[in-house]
Structure 1
Amino acid sequence: MTILGSRLDTSSPEYGSRREAMLAKLAELDAEHAKAVAGGGPKYVERHRERGKLLARERIELLIDPDSPFLELSPLAAWGSDFPVGASVVTGIGVIEGVECVIAANDPTVRGGSSNPWTMRKTLRAADVALQNRLPFVNLVESGGADLPTQKEIFIPGGRIFRDLTRLSAAGIPTIALVFGNSTAGGAYVPGMSDYVVMVKEQAKVFLGGPPLVKMATGEESDDESLGGAEMHARTSGLADYLAADEHDALRTGRRIIRRLNWRKAGRPALASAAPRHDQDELLGIVPEDLKIPFDPREVIARVADGSDFDEFKPLYGASLVTGWASVHGHPVGILANARGVLFGEEAQKAAQFIQLANQTRTPLVFLQNTTGYMVGKDYEQAGIIKHGAMMINAVSNSTVPHITIVMGASYGAGNYGMCGRAYDPRFLFSWPSAKSAVMGPAQLAGVLSIVGRASAESRGQVYDEEADAAMRQMVEAQIEAESLPFFLSGRLYDDGVIDPRDTRTVLGFCLSAIGNAPAAEPAGYGVFRM
């Protein structure tokens, strides 16, 4: 039988303490998400409403199908920076007229919706998701353009936003701009480079240079409406394809455009599915607070896979890595999950073979990360851990089936690479609140610096300062601990969001469904595997 049982004792003190720790982390996550939802704060939200306008998330809610989910991407972007959490734009995947679409909505309550460096990165990530997964891209536009004090970080790389719009269109992926307010300077090219443009009467303003700039550049006197108003663009310039009476009309028009696309998914349809046999709520009590303590990832798979059905591959070989076949919401997947953190040579070889098998059958791969990296030491080096690890990374790098990564616990060292971290372009990557990621653990990193410093002092014939060493280790450990936490990493877009473990199955199903819009990629071609 391939149905997973469970040894999780939900009445044990260990389970209870793990659950309480996870709930505490989720409360912190909710508080950070609330900052993004609050936008620019009550003052600017009220000012926006007084102008008769909808908020960014209200626009999204009215645009997508009633009672359908919205998978928000990078909601913690800019966390820990000088900019507001959320980076003044809301991005994600929503279903419009039955079609999964990427949506990007400027939040005009945050500095007028102006774009800072994190806004740019978040928007570029949304465009990548649209292109990789063949999803129509809908921009809900109301932005004052670049945040000028940070123009040095935005101007040159920001041009890719417009390049991406044209590449999406060239790939046959529709781009739609619904313009609710200002879209000025470089921002004017968002509607200018979109396939379909809807502008709201007496609200939309689209021009390369506003009246003050035109006055300074040419001496010409002009007003907003004649220079770049919605009615002018609908009647005179032809930039607007549709003139909407108000915001609700613009959103209805946007839905109508999507309906007329006659969109068809190019990938394999989902099969019938059954719910897991074990309670997804129990995912809260699986990961220990101390990530040095291993946990069995089969307990996670049993609460994520359809019917808790998991056909394990090579179960007696390379036991620190669990591999096998399952389905999630009717989508077949191959799963690689760390069982005891460390990756040995056997695990690396097992992973490489499994990834090749998944590519042979064009089966998407799900990586469940909890790894401290590849094993070190004389015996392991002599046994070829470098070439075995390189074999696994080679397989991941050149695999052409879609990858989705969930960071459940530790994600340290080259284990992050072998288990398809951000640098290896998984289609989607999400973290649990328990996740941590760095070049190595804080204590190990501080210890390495201490050893190096001690050796350097001895080589110069100096007495090593033990007091300074203790202070250095304490400072480094605190720094690495802070920089390895999920909010910090998510703020830098090293994942697509921090999620509640109980939502893992839903998020995976949504991502796999979105992936199904694109045709299967060509079979993988691999570099030389060192034997």
Structure 2
Amino acid sequence: GGGEKARKLHTSRGKLLPRERIDKLIDPGSPFLEFSQFAGYQLYGNEEVPAGGIITGIGRVSGVECLIVANDATVKGGTYYPITVKKHLRAQEIAMQNHLPCLYLVDSGGANLPRQAEVFPDRDHFGRIFYNQAVMSSQGIPQIAVVMGSCTAGGAYVPAMADESIIVGKQGTIFLGGPPLVKAATGEQVSAEDLGGADLHCRKSGVTDHYALDDNHALHLARKVVRSLNLQKKVDVTIEPSEEPLFPADEIYGIVGDQLKRNFDVKEVIARIVDGSRFDEFKALYGDTLVTGFARIFGYPVGIIGNNGVLFSESAKK
């Protein structure tokens, strides 16, 4: 996330940090498969955008595997850089391909204004986020928004287009233009809460469906919403009981090492990942600089492709 000053300011407002929100959202003790952790690294010169200012990944919520997108308001107020948009869209693509319900933990000031020319205009820019929401909703893939802070400008469409939305009272706001813009345009002075707070959207506009008292309550409501979806995972493959590899997985650190130019045998890595260290190799004697084959991980059948040197035409054919 952002620096210490930004984190302290965030928590002083009674907010949980974005990773804390995810920890409380997913089932206790269950893993969170995070995507694109190095997005934004050294991408914008002196501007630091850790993880692209957004956290995405797959976690289990009320027993259901869900795609989670969490804005990080400690990084430039959660505003969208070009890489933020790209990361958000990639997460939605994964959700669409795997039919995963989407949970958006919204705390964003919208587009990063100095870079808005790189964020808005193209087919795969900011507007694609809302297009994807509409498409997934029409396909029966639930879209759930939890407004936990600012939800300004383009970001305001996320809860508006969600199938079900939650907002935190005295904290979450939804509007296209905030109080300063209203004053500049009309001369009227209005508070953020009166303009787009939880009371307005739960009682009058109807944009949001559930009123939360704080972050913890909002995440509790989100878990209840997922539980009520009545979804059951369909598996089209045979699943066998999971087995531990015959060799400890932590030995991989010694096999691979930190010297990028040092060769290692990828089969030794595979033996420490797959169930029972069993690997059915395909074309073992042909194009041996690429290892291909089949195995099981946690009981699920998988295909494995592993580099074992320089790729030649024979390897590519495998």
- Contact 1:101–1:138 (CA under 8 A) maintained in structure 2: yes
Pair 1:206-2:174 in alignment: yes
The residue aligned with 1:189 is 157
Paired with 1:46 and 1:291, the residues of 2 have a C-alpha distance of: 38
What's the offset of the Cα at 1:290? Answer: 6.0
The residue aligned with 2:78 is 113
Pair 1:153-2:121 in alignment: no
Residue by residue over 1:410-456, the C-alpha shift from the partner in whole angstroms, topping out at 9 and shown as x without a partner, is: xxxxxxxxxxxxxxxxxxxxxxxxxxxxxxxxxxxxxxxxxxxxxxx
Paired with 2:145 and 2:60, the residues of 1 have a C-alpha distance of: 16
- Contact 2:280–2:293 (CA under 8 A) maintained in structure 1: yes
The residue aligned with 1:177 is 145
What's the offset of the Cα at 1:271? Answer: 2.2
Superposition RMSD on alpha carbons, in Å?
1.8
**Residue 93 of structure 1 aligns to a residue in which SS?**
strand
**Residue 215 of structure 1 aligns to a residue in which SS?**
helix
Structure 2 counterpart of 1:60, which letter? Answer: I
Paired with 1:98 and 1:211, the residues of 2 have a C-alpha distance of: 41
- 2:265 pairs with 285, 288, 296, which one? 296
Counterpart mapping for 1:339-358 below 5 A: 339-345=308-314, 347-349=315-317, 351=318
The residue aligned with 2:284 is 315
Distance 1:44 1:287, change over 3 A: closer
- Contact 2:50–2:75 (CA under 8 A) maintained in structure 1: no
Structure 2 counterpart of 1:336, which letter? Answer: I
The residue aligned with 1:124 is 89
**Residue 244 of structure 2 aligns to a residue in which SS?**
coil
**Residue 29 of structure 2 aligns to a residue in which SS?**
coil
The structure richer in helix per residue is 1
Structure 1 counterpart of 2:175, which letter? Answer: F
- Contact 1:294–1:341 (CA under 8 A) maintained in structure 2: no
The residue aligned with 1:45 is 7
- 2:295 pairs with 305, 323, 326, which one? 326
Counterpart mapping for 1:420-439 below 5 A: none
Number of residue pairs the alignment of both structures matches: 311
- 2:228 pairs with 253, 260, 269, which one? 260
Moved more, 147-156 or 265-274: 265-274
Paired with 2:8 and 2:191, the residues of 1 have a C-alpha distance of: 26
**Residue 255 of structure 1 aligns to a residue in which SS?**
helix
Structure 1: gaps spanning 5 or more residues: 1-38, 352-531
- Contact 1:92–1:126 (CA under 8 A) maintained in structure 2: yes
Pair 1:97-2:62 in alignment: yes
What's the offset of the Cα at 1:164? Answer: 1.2
Give the structure-1-normalised TM-score: 0.56
**Residue 68 of structure 2 aligns to a residue in which SS?**
strand
The residue aligned with 1:283 is 252
Pair 1:272-2:241 in alignment: yes
What's the offset of the Cα at 1:299? Answer: 1.0
- 1:143 pairs with 94, 105, 108, which one? 108
Larger radius of gyration: 1
Residue by residue over 1:13-41, the C-alpha shift from the partner in whole angstroms, topping out at 9 and shown as x without a partner, is: xxxxxxxxxxxxxxxxxxxxxxxxxx221
**Residue 236 of structure 2 aligns to a residue in which SS?**
coil
**Residue 206 of structure 1 aligns to a residue in which SS?**
coil
Structure 2: gaps spanning 5 or more residues: none
Paired with 1:72 and 1:313, the residues of 2 have a C-alpha distance of: 31
Moved more, 197-206 or 336-345: 336-345
Residue by residue over 1:292-351, the C-alpha shift from the partner in whole angstroms, topping out at 9 and shown as x without a partner, is: 654322111111111011122222333333222211111112222233323233x333x1
Paired with 1:228 and 1:288, the residues of 2 have a C-alpha distance of: 53
Distance 1:317 1:193, change over 3 A: same
